[in-house]
Amino acid sequence: MAATVSSAFTPSTRHHLTSVTRFRSLYLSNSISLPNFKSNSVKPLISSKNPNFRLLLVSAASMSAEAPEKISTASFLDRRESGIHHFVKYQGLGNDFILVDNRDSTEPRITPEQAVRLCDRNFGIGADGVIFAMPGTNGTDYSMRIFNSDGSEPEMCGNGVRCFARFIAELENLQGKQSFTIHTGAGLIVPEIQEDGKVKVDMGEPILKASDVPTRLRENKGDAVVKAKLNIDGVTWNVTCVSMGNPHCVTFGSNENQDLQVDKLNLAEIGPKFEHHDVFPARTNTEFVQVHSHSHLKMRVWERGAGATLACGTGACATVVAAVLEGRAGRNCTVDLPGGPLEIEWKEEDNHVYMTGPAEAVFYGAVAL
């Protein structure tokens, strides 16, 4: 197996593979001081399904405590020579993303079709989406675009934007508490990296007007859809519709099951029926929520374009907004997701929703598509 893998790499690629064993940050320019990686930290993968798909991986946790070694990264970073795309994989509560440095271009380096291949967990890197760090527009510091694992492009992603913030901090070598502005398809987003490494994000104001969510369900609380009836295969669900720049349908249960136990749901069966229901012209993300207390909610999510994921930041925000509108919870809540908790606050003072949670680098890599 080792010989087969080795023979698939060109001499130039083998040179890069040698360099990557000592390489920590793929994006710092010129020469840098960096620690050595353990000898087994690089794992070249060849896909039998896509034989031209080559991947080099470096675990973010695989650095040894040896003294730093001064090396030049110029040849390793020369995309024109190697045809290799460099990336860092991040995760936010298990919602994982491939982060690509795209700051020198307003066009993504990777196509939606390539993103589907990269996100494949058997024949690719494996991720819920590919995120591009791009030049800012309309006065913002940066722009963020994302392709889902099915190749579709959502307006925004809450867990993704926290990963984006940590990625930018690494690219720009930012230290301590930092804040910057990001242009997204959902508008202006402002993340702030905290002293403890978590990221607090000003997610802006929730959108409640039915036509702007969008949903064809009839407004029943001003312009909003709150605890409305939605029929799914003969079961009447009570739903509240919220947009955090992307559409969400939040439910705390059905007429038949007022006390929802989210762990008992067959998400793969019920989720797509919400996502593709004709009352959601842009499809929808769906949150199934269990109330533990006035400040503690438990949520499972079916994401539009990604399916069941371990976490959804915008979904957690929409969940708290819906819980407040339905009188089930206060404005400051812990939302438990399969991947871990998020702290969500919907402030009365400015009507903005704030999300705080972790984002961590998983590994660094390079891929030839």
- Residues designated as active site: 157, 312
The structure tokens listed for 140 are: 């913002």
Evaluated on CA atoms 127, 128, 134, 139, the torsion sign reads: negative
The structure tokens listed for 287 are: 């949150």
* Helix intervals (H) in the chain: 2-7, 11-20, 79-82, 112-119, 158-171, 267-275, 313-325
* Helix intervals (H) in 8-154: 11-20, 79-82, 112-119
Evaluated on CA atoms 142, 343, 284, 269, the torsion sign reads: positive
Helix axes 313-325, 158-171, angle to 10 degrees: 140
Query: Are the C-beta atoms of residues 158 and 131 closer than 8 Å to each other?
Result: no
DSSP string for residues in 172-219: TT--SSEE--EEETTEEEEEEE-TTS-EEEE--PPB--GGGTT--SPP
Residues 201, 204, 208: CA angle, nearest 5 degrees: 135
The separation between the first and the last C-alpha atoms of the chain, rounded to the nearest angstrom, is: 21
- 192 burial level (CB within 10 Å; 0-12, 13-18, 19+): middle
